[in-house]
Structure 1
């Protein structure tokens, strides 16, 4: 065995340490290079995905407009509605396809399926009172759908709001089906006019006995002939209303929050508001529209439509089903 002196042992240790240092530096360079390459790849994928998602959002909006138009104008039957929407989807596919082709992309939109519903509306411009009654059920036993509310596109165009305070306010009430009294498992939106330029909404949400309250006020544009309240979208004349969406504390006040899976929709103090309204409800298995008369009407509607969306570039392919239910609240 070789006899190493103390200084020789020290030199060997120093050489070994130097060699290890070189190995560690080399490994760090390799790892950093791999991370950098992965980051670049991720950025490239994100950029392509963003383009695909942006186009998808545009397609969803266009299909939503087609569904809303069909429900208003082609509502003789569900078959007529389906034909009209299918034709619109083909047109949307052609238009977006031509637009995408200019930048080397392929986009295709194809009708897949739809869910039938009912549209309930008033269009004669009178008060919302029905059969001379200011309090009545509009739709009973409305069924929520998977990832959906069961009521959507509930819009009010009020040419006059006579109520001047909370006590006389026109009220939209949503409550668990079968609960005919009390406020448990309910959502109530009260609408009144503070003055000629200000509209007030107060929402009371009761979930299992606990009531939360949220208010909002929006200034009315006097140049407009009516006050437009999009109840399910949560806006008044296009301005967000905390009492119809999410409050400052994060509390959910969207249409129907607090009510359970099957609920009833009714009006109170309906003689305190004048104009027109429209809503689309999901039929479920036992939907009832008990208060239809000469002013309150209904017609077949499509509650939602599903389309197949495909987006292709030289680097990626994105294909998915897109469910479109315009005006459906997030609750």
Structure 2
């Protein structure tokens, strides 16, 4: 080993100390960058962060449109559905980047169907009548299970049914006893029990008035909430998971003024990852059409036809679908870099 004098050794120590300092600064920058990326949603003081979050919301909305269209029109196989979503997401990415390029902002959105967690399987259930058919099963039953083994993810705030919309052309029931009912219950519960259930009743008490009553039985604690809306057209649109009736907010389908969660399936089942089933009761009292997307449903029953082709008009049917997808979003400016995954599940209420 070379014999180093005191000055040489001092210089080496200084160089080593400087290298360590640079390393620590770099590590601090990396950590701070990661923390900033994770917490951008709660910070608005950084230049451009509001724009990044606004663009994020726009991307999520457009990706939701892509998902819904693929589920409805490109349902034959997963690969066909993936191709349709990828094309639409890439188109969104190109348009947003072109719009932002003049401001020095780079925006990129990508959907990678082969990545773990990029999509979650589900089923789309629909009845597409345009002639006012009722909501009975394929065999004409008025009381039946529409979907079973609907599986919650177990993640707080996530449901397992989304985009459940009814377009009612006629409502025959005139009171609670004769109303059309949607019931959600734990898969393990007998049909006669009401504990851990969510029940929605819809009827027409008079004239053009539509009344909605929801009863939630959460472990024996019962909450009842109602709303009434006067329909403005020949039909009324009831967004069951979106919480509106004729485009007006309905407390019976959302968060009440007292903070009670009445969203679809709230309180049923009693566990965050328990399976539940969806039942229709007195389905002859409701006419029009409906559709919904459910997560992980096996639909092992003959009440709903398999496939959309060759079915009897007015009969309910199901097709394979994605309940949710994940897209990667990045937003870059000279002063800001924001990269995150966006979970896309349009029309999903709180759990």
TM-score, normalising length: structure 2? 0.79
CA displacement, residues 266-324 of structure 1 (integer Å, 9 cap, x when unaligned):
0001000101111111116x553441144010111111010000001110100000000
Matched pairs, number = 286
Q: Decide which of 310, 322, 333 is 1:313's aligned counterpart.
A: 333
Change (3 A) 1:171 1:98: same
- Asked whether the equivalents of residues 139 and 265 of structure 1 are also in contact (C-alpha less than 8 Å), the reply is yes
Offset at residue 44 of structure 1 (A) = 4.3
Structure 1 unaligned blocks of 5 or more:
1-41
Change (3 A) 1:235 1:128: same
Change (3 A) 1:116 1:310: same
Structure 2 unaligned blocks of 5 or more:
1-42, 113-117, 306-311
- Asked whether the equivalents of residues 120 and 280 of structure 1 are also in contact (C-alpha less than 8 Å), the reply is yes
Q: Decide which of 125, 128, 135 is 1:128's aligned counterpart.
A: 135
Offset at residue 132 of structure 1 (A) = 2.1
- Asked whether the equivalents of residues 206 and 258 of structure 1 are also in contact (C-alpha less than 8 Å), the reply is yes
Q: CA RMSD in A?
A: 1.4
**What corresponds to 1:16 in structure 2?**
none
Q: Decide which of 178, 184, 193 is 1:168's aligned counterpart.
A: 178
Q: Are 2:70 and 1:65 aligned?
A: no
Offset at residue 98 of structure 1 (A) = 0.7
TM-score, normalising length: structure 1? 0.83
SS in 2 for 1:195: coil
Distance 2:66 2:250 in 1: 26
Note the 1:156-235 alignment, pairs <5 A.
156-180=166-190, 181-221=192-232, 224-235=233-244
Q: Decide which of 271, 274, 277 is 1:264's aligned counterpart.
A: 277
**What corresponds to 1:252 in structure 2?**
261
Offset at residue 197 of structure 1 (A) = 1.9
- Greater radius of gyration (CA): 1
Change (3 A) 1:289 1:90: farther
**What corresponds to 2:251 in structure 1?**
242
Note the 1:296-307 alignment, pairs <5 A.
296-307=316-327
- Asked whether the equivalents of residues 44 and 50 of structure 2 are also in contact (C-alpha less than 8 Å), the reply is no
CA displacement, residues 133-169 of structure 1 (integer Å, 9 cap, x when unaligned):
1110001121002342111111101110111111111
- Asked whether the equivalents of residues 232 and 244 of structure 1 are also in contact (C-alpha less than 8 Å), the reply is yes
Distance 2:210 2:301 in 1: 29
**What corresponds to 2:87 in structure 1?**
87
Distance 1:118 1:72 in 2: 11
Change (3 A) 1:230 1:289: farther
Distance 1:102 1:92 in 2: 17
Note the 1:119-158 alignment, pairs <5 A.
119-124=124-129, 125-130=132-137, 131-145=139-153, 146-147=155-156, 148-158=158-168
Distance 1:232 1:165 in 2: 23
